[in-house]
Amino acid sequence: MEEDSMRRGLSQARVSAYRRDGFVAGVPVFDATRVADIRSEIEALEARYREGAARQPLTQFFRVNGQLVIPLLAEIARTPAILDAVESLLGPNLLVWSAELFIKEPGDGKTVSWHQDITYWGMGETDEEVTAWIALSDVSVEAGCMRFLPGSHRGGIARHTDTFSADNLLSRGQSIDDVDEGQAVHGPLRPGEMSLHHGRCFHASGANRSGDRRIGLAIRYVTPDVRQPDLARDYAMLVRGTDRAQGWINVAGPRGLFTAADLALYDQVLKDQAAVLAAGAEGQVPLYDAAQEEGRPV
């Protein structure tokens, strides 16, 4: 389905399904040509920065706040088709808190344990957020698509155990124990489709047993009314409407690819966020280790 056909937002049936289940999958966003172009750009970045960027592995920027230093990710986060769908759930004023690439190579054994996204974000149990997860390859059951536990968003934040497993793509390997797998629902996505899920919805994903890479982009949208009482300051990119509440430090998006000014902002954001996002961890949280540096040479 062409991108233009999504610009009226979600159907009422899909909005109702999201409210009931905490997720909705199979929402069309990009056509095959655009998906191929995006994937090509990502893989060109991987080739160009094989040895890292700004003395950090490229995965650091792919996995944490890539929208601040990689124009492609900021551009995708502003896609009207995505924003229309998110607006159907959150209303007309939208900010991007983060954008993260999740890549599983064929046979690499990487998984994502059962968790709730919002656990360590410092936002409490707000309903004013949603994750848009866009498939940039075939994200089938075999490739390790997400599984969701319907209705789990209606409870509070569950207890998570930090495993720090090497095969877990989550920052701490955080995991919810005793999930009833028999109630789980798979959410396979074709290239160019997305799912939307609530931050309290239990979800997980298995290993990639297909013959291709499994590439997905998770974009975290919030409304201006979201507050982070445990964080002195945090940052978000206004992508639709207005921010009259002004509870966030608004950022404009990158000037270019890994510019010095954007990297300096990236370091400041990471430093300000790390106190909350790594709080309570009994081990190091590698994706936030860079926050301990005073500066990063470009």
pLDDT of residue 170: 62
Lowest mean per-residue pLDDT among 25-34, 43-52, 99-108, 154-163:
154-163
Are 103 and 144 within 8 A, CB to CB? no
- Does residue 250 sit within a domain? yes
Q: Report the CATH number at residue 236.
A: 2.60.120.620
pLDDT of residue 81: 97
- Does residue 80 sit within a domain? yes
Q: Across residues 281-287, what is the average pLDDT?
A: 50
- Does residue 194 sit within a domain? yes
- The mean pLDDT of the chain is 87
* Residue-range definition of the domain harbouring residue 150: 3-292
- Percentage of the chain beyond pLDDT 90 is 69
The residue among 161, 182, 83, 69 whose CA lies nearest residue 116 is 161
pLDDT of residue 292: 40
Instruction: Return the structure tokens found at 99.
Output: 């954008």
Evaluate if residue 279 carries a pLDDT over 80. no
Report the C-alpha gap between 211 and 9 in whole angstroms: 33
Q: Across residues 79-88, what is the average pLDDT?
A: 98
Report the C-alpha gap between 97 and 219 in whole angstroms: 8
Q: Across residues 195-209, what is the average pLDDT?
A: 94
Instruction: Return the structure tokens found at 34.
Output: 């655009």
Per the structure, the count of domains in the chain is 1
- Does residue 101 sit within a domain? yes
Lowest mean per-residue pLDDT among 39-43, 204-208, 277-281:
277-281
Evaluate if residue 293 carries a pLDDT over 60. no
Q: Across residues 247-273, what is the average pLDDT?
A: 94
Q: Which residue has the higher pLDDT, 177 or 187?
A: 187
Q: Across residues 40-65, what is the average pLDDT?
A: 96
- Does residue 297 sit within a domain? no
- Does residue 104 sit within a domain? yes
- Burial (CB count <10 Å: 0-12, 13-18, 19+), residue 107: exposed
Instruction: Return the structure tokens found at 61.
Output: 């920027």
Q: Across residues 265-279, what is the average pLDDT?
A: 80
Q: Across residues 56-81, what is the average pLDDT?
A: 97
Lowest mean per-residue pLDDT among 7-16, 20-29, 46-55, 186-195:
7-16
pLDDT of residue 297: 32
